Amino acid sequence: MHLPGKNDYIDIHTHDAVPVKNIFSIDVLMAHEERLPERKKGILYSYGIHPWHLNEFNQEDQLASVKKITADPLVIAVGETGFDRIRGPSMELQCRIFEEQVRIAERLGKPVVVHCVRAWDELLLQHKRLNPGMPWLVHGFRGKPDLARQLVSRGMYISFWFEFIIKPESAKLIRSVPKERIFLETDGADVDIRDIYNKVTLDLGIPVDELKSLIRNNFFDFFRT
């Protein structure tokens, strides 16, 4: 398996990734799509059931795909999966399918990528209840420093929402999260991960090479590689 190199910018959460020199991406495949992991330079995968695309009728098929495809060595995480109170099926179904995926991840020794919208109580509750051995990454985060602290205290990692992170007011949040728990992402939007790195180096007052090595270390910790 290829891993991020010293000079690579890591995009921890994107969709439909294409190889770009010096960018290492985790391409998030969703079980309702028909995309499958493919060997491509600088790209590895996460695979899971997105709550927006989950319902009573497709749950079994999607779970069967997760069981099968997450075993592929190119898939190094399970997700995105999680909780969404704005869009998606009942919280009961979201929780059940989330738990199934956490169990698959634990069996495989792979971490979990979490989508969470207005359901932080549920996420924290499930983390306490399931008490996983593998870490979870909350992607697209734009909450308060206090909430970030609660997630970090449960051993979680945080990747910031691409649209928020480039704004000046995000500096306070970025500085408040322990550096060994941060990741950056584009979420497949039309933004450049290198611009996001540049903004965060200013917020943290460190050179870009230092930020690269920091996030690369976080990558190795998170994926236990």
Rule CB under 5 A: which residues touch Zn ion? 187
- CB 210: neighbour CB atoms within 10 A? 13
CB of 188 to Zn ion, least distance (A): 6
CB of 161 to Zn ion, least distance (A): 10
Q: What is the residue whose two structure tokens read 């509750």?
A: 125
32: amino acid identity, one letter: H
CB of 15 to Zn ion, least distance (A): 6
84/187 with CB nearer Zn ion: 187
What is the distance between the alpha carbons of residues 84 and 21, in angstroms, rounded to a whole number? 35
Q: What is the residue whose two structure tokens read 């738990």?
A: 99
122/187 with CB nearer Zn ion: 187
CB of 139 to Zn ion, least distance (A): 6
15/154 with CB nearer Zn ion: 15
29/182 with CB nearer Zn ion: 29
With CA atoms as reference, report the closest residue to 141 among 202, 80, 99, 55: 80
Given a contact cutoff of 8 angstroms between Cβ atoms, the answer to whether 96 and 126 are in contact is no
Given a contact cutoff of 8 angstroms between Cβ atoms, the answer to whether 222 and 111 are in contact is yes
Return the structure tokens found at 81. 């999966």
114/151 with CB nearer Zn ion: 114
CB of 83 to Zn ion, least distance (A): 14
What is the distance between the alpha carbons of residues 131 and 124, in angstroms, rounded to a whole number? 10
Minimal CB distance residue for Zn ion:
187
What is the distance between the alpha carbons of residues 81 and 141, in angstroms, rounded to a whole number? 14
CB of 114 to Zn ion, least distance (A): 11
Given a contact cutoff of 8 angstroms between Cβ atoms, the answer to whether 95 and 119 are in contact is no
Phi then psi dihedrals of residue 221, to 5 deg:
-65, -50
166/206 with CB nearer Zn ion: 166
